[in-house]
Structure 1
């Protein structure tokens, strides 16, 4: 089944404009006024997502994102993604050594009237911390 064009465009802009370029204004185009990002630490607004991106851009650069799978069901789009980025310092006092790290994750977008109303994301932050040396090596088995 093909993914509807408008949902694919939203996902591509989310990764290409918001993540790769750090374009904060794209969120005004892509999200509803009452947009909510459901995170581990509670719900976040569009403005909080802009603040997150300002932090993210200060810590990582040279992003490359691949949208591995897109699954559409009704007004939802699920995206499984892989990203590579270079660490430049500023996260948990981890020293920057030009480390290239990999993030994987799944985002679930809820679309209303052609815009993102809600977003959920599960990602591999712990794996990134491990790659950066913030977590002790050889302490557990990974699969």
Structure 2
């Protein structure tokens, strides 16, 4: 697959999975051997942790948007810098709705093979946001 195609796969995944909460998209855009290198210690490294997180996130937050600031790609790697914005309108991680608007800054790296994401790493400031709710 071309570098441009790989970039579009990662952008689509971000818009459909993170922004829209479409967990079914994992079957289409993540490889069978997908590995989430950002999974918490002792957690499964397949897509299940990400699916669980995004399902809970969309229950606790509304008006979710993903703004992609930069997309860089080389060979089979795509990296992006994004901001996820949302409003805390439901219970999340034991915290009742506050109505606060939040912004999470994320940098991620994905590896793709045959048009599917095989590996994922990300760094974000999410825990600081949760503490501020």
Contact persistence 1:22–1:57 (CA under 8 A): yes
Contact persistence 2:35–2:45 (CA under 8 A): yes
TM (normalized to structure 1)? 0.81
Q: Deviations over 1:46-87 (max 9, x none)?
A: 233222221121121211111111111221111110111011
Report how many residues are paired.
130
Per the TM alignment, residue 116 of structure 1 is displaced from its structure 2 partner at its CA by: 0.2
Per the TM alignment, residue 40 of structure 1 is displaced from its structure 2 partner at its CA by: 5.0
Aligned to 1:79: 80
Secondary structure of 2:99's counterpart equals: coil
Ranges of 4+ aligned residues in structure 1 off by more than 3 Å: none
Of stretches 52-61 and 18-27 in structure 1, the one that deviates more from structure 2 is 52-61
In the alignment, the residues of structure 2 paired with residue 62 and residue 27 of structure 1 have an alpha-carbon distance, to the nearest angstrom, of 21
Contact persistence 1:66–1:81 (CA under 8 A): yes
Q: Which has the higher contact order (CA 8 A, sep 6+)?
A: 2
Contact persistence 2:76–2:111 (CA under 8 A): yes
Per the TM alignment, residue 127 of structure 1 is displaced from its structure 2 partner at its CA by: 2.9
What is the aligned-residue RMSD (CA, Å)?
1.8
Q: Deviations over 1:17-64 (max 9, x none)?
A: 101211111111111001011125245212332222211211212111
Flag the structure with larger Rg.
1
Contact persistence 1:101–1:131 (CA under 8 A): no
Secondary structure of 1:32's counterpart equals: strand
- Structure 2, gaps ≥5 residues long: none
In the alignment, the residues of structure 2 paired with residue 67 and residue 15 of structure 1 have an alpha-carbon distance, to the nearest angstrom, of 9
The 5 A counterparts of 1:1-143 are 4-39=3-38, 41-42=40-41, 43-132=44-133
Of stretches 20-29 and 115-124 in structure 1, the one that deviates more from structure 2 is 20-29
Contact persistence 1:10–1:30 (CA under 8 A): yes
Contact persistence 1:59–1:91 (CA under 8 A): yes
TM (normalized to structure 2)? 0.87
